[in-house]
Amino acid sequence: MLIFDGHCDTLSRINNPEDLMKNGFHWDLERAGKYGTYIQVLASFADDYLRARPEAVMASHLEKAIAFEGAYPDRLRLIRSASDLKAAYKGGVYGILGAEGAEIFKGSLKELERWFQKGLRVVTLCWNYDNEVCDSVAGKRTHHGLSPFGLKVVERMQELGMVIDLSHASDETFEDVLSCVNSPVAATHSNCRAICGNPRNLTDAQIIQIAQTGGVVGINFYGYFLTNTGKAQIKDIIIHIEHIAGLVGTGHIGMGCDFDGANPMPGGIMGVESLYLVLEALGKANYSDQDIRMIAGENFMRLFTRVLK
């Protein structure tokens, strides 16, 4: 079975590229490789205590993955095109470079294009702060949505074939982006606000809008995005999946586990090695084998195949 996880933060946790092979965090190649074909969006972000130069911190994270692929191409292959995605069905572990915050572009479309050439294919427009591109749901409404530069970023990303990720975006940013896109978008690691009231989660209307673009919502395993108390079990993941399925069907749901970026995890989820428990729970909830394959990876595979060139 194909596993395609839309978001993890392992690059921000490791010190050396070689630590991707095996570590004590949520995700590594050794454990992911046991699933057969595993595609992981490897995100870069600058945590609160590193906000002085977020673009430099994020760049250093991405360079770790690039360096690892160069040294161990038989263990990790970075996906840069739709043809690379098709080749992934042969098996193995694959990575897709992502940036959690458009600060990495330093206000320049040339920087966007430079990072595209280096392999960046997914951009979460913002993290927990407003930036030059847009407002965050946790920000101060600097632009009241997407900035003029942000509009140019969205347009250029679509031209190049990059996935626009709306997780962390403010509601105003969300609406501005949806009003100007003509390609599928994702919320790679977001849940349902109707189930858990955290504003980082999506409204029902937003979930429907994402589906109407052909996009995907990746279910986030963070306890405080699953339940209002932060105490979650695997059944709470299923509850969010069921809610989205009731709105738009199973064709727009994926996994956005937020490994190495979220704590607490639901009871029973130790890391990537526990992901099979979620798939088993879907089976026990009477989801068909086809539905489980779609949620596990095929939906994200469809989206990325449409967007990447």
Give pLDDT, residue 259. Answer: 99
What average pLDDT does the structure give for the chain?
97
Nearest 10 degrees: Cα torsion 299, 77, 219, 130: -110
* φ and ψ of 8, to 5 deg: -145, 155
Three-point CA angle 131, 262, 22, nearest 5°: 110
Whether the pLDDT of residue 238 is over 90: the answer is yes
Q: Are 290 and 299 in contact (CB under 8 A)?
A: no
Dump pLDDT digits (tens) for 132-162: 999 999 999 999 999 999 999 999 999 999 9
Dump pLDDT digits (tens) for 159-178: 999 999 999 999 999 999 99
Could you name the CATH architecture of 2-307? Alpha-Beta Barrel (3.20)
Mean pLDDT score, 29-54: 89
Whether the pLDDT of residue 52 is over 90: the answer is no
Dump pLDDT digits (tens) for 79-107: 999 999 999 999 999 999 999 999 999 99
Beta bridge partners of 38: 3, 93
Whether the pLDDT of residue 49 is over 80: the answer is no
Give pLDDT, residue 50. Answer: 64
Dump pLDDT digits (tens) for 241-275: 999 999 999 999 999 999 999 999 999 999 999 99
Distance, CA of 168 to CA of 139 (rounded, Å): 10
Percentage of residues in the chain with pLDDT exceeding 70?
99
Distance, CA of 91 to CA of 44 (rounded, Å): 25
Hey, what are 104's tokens? 């990495």
* CB-CB neighbours of 124 under 10 Å: 28
Hey, what are 276's tokens? 């099979």
Give pLDDT, residue 186. Answer: 99
Which of 47-51, 67-71, 88-92 is predicted with the least confidence, judged by mean pLDDT?
47-51
Whether the pLDDT of residue 48 is over 90: the answer is no
Mean pLDDT score, 287-305: 99
Band of residue 51 on the pLDDT scale cut at 50, 70, 90: low
Nearest CA-CA partner of 219 in 239, 204, 233 = 239
Which residues are CB-contacts of 122 (< 8 A; sequence separation ≥ 6)?
41, 43, 96, 97, 98, 99, 162, 163, 165, 186, 188
Dump pLDDT digits (tens) for 103-131: 999 999 999 999 999 999 999 999 999 99
Which of 54-58, 59-63, 228-232, 237-241 is predicted with the least confidence, judged by mean pLDDT?
54-58
Which residues are CB-contacts of 139 (< 8 A; sequence separation ≥ 6)?
126, 128, 129, 130, 170
Nearest CA-CA partner of 42 in 5, 17, 74 = 5
Only one residue has tokens 């069907």, namely: 249
Distance, CA of 118 to CA of 197 (rounded, Å): 38
Give pLDDT, residue 53. Answer: 84
Dump pLDDT digits (tens) for 182-206: 999 999 999 999 999 999 999 999 9
Mean pLDDT score, 54-61: 92
